[in-house]
Amino acid sequence: MMNFRKKLQKFGGFTLLEILVVISIIGILIAIGSAAFTTAQKKGRDARRRADMKQYQNAFEQYYSENDAYNSCTNMEAGFVGGPPADPKPGGTAYSCTVSALNAGYCVCATLDFTTTGNASGGGAGVCTFVANSTKFCVQNLQ
């Protein structure tokens, strides 16, 4: 019987306290990692939205150079191969586009995930309202 106990002492395992400490450290690391991952996803989507707005601006300016006027958003969006860009977040807010009454200008906006990194508060009637630290990123006509 004595030999059996000595063998058990040689092959001792982890204590319950050691296991709980390791599990709690792993939990903390996972929480930190998931928060950082979520932030990176939001920043990536916002970068994509800004690039999409620049794409809209380039396409609409090309339309203007070919037609000497802007048109409805639907007509100008027809120039996108494969259709106009869509919000990168599944179920996200659609990009908004407005054209002025006399087709003299346009404003295209995207709602950002980080609500204080935008350049505008929105647009209407083809005119963007530019405000620092806002919820939207907008582009307007260059002509």
On average, the pLDDT of the chain sits at 88
Band of residue 13 on the pLDDT scale cut at 50, 70, 90: confident
Q: What is the pLDDT of residues 120-140, one digit of tens each?
A: 988 888 889 999 889 999 999
What is the DSSP annotation of the chain? -HHHHHHHHHT----HHHHHHHHHHHHHHHHHHHHHHHHHHHHHHHHHHHHHHHHHHHHHHHHHHHHSS---HHHHHTTSTTSS---SSTTPPPPEEEE-TTSS-EEEEEE-SSTTSEEEEEEETTEEEEEEEESEEEEE---
pLDDT reported for residue 125:
86
Mean predicted confidence (pLDDT) in 10-19? 83
Question: Pick the residue with more confidence: 139 or 117?
Answer: 139
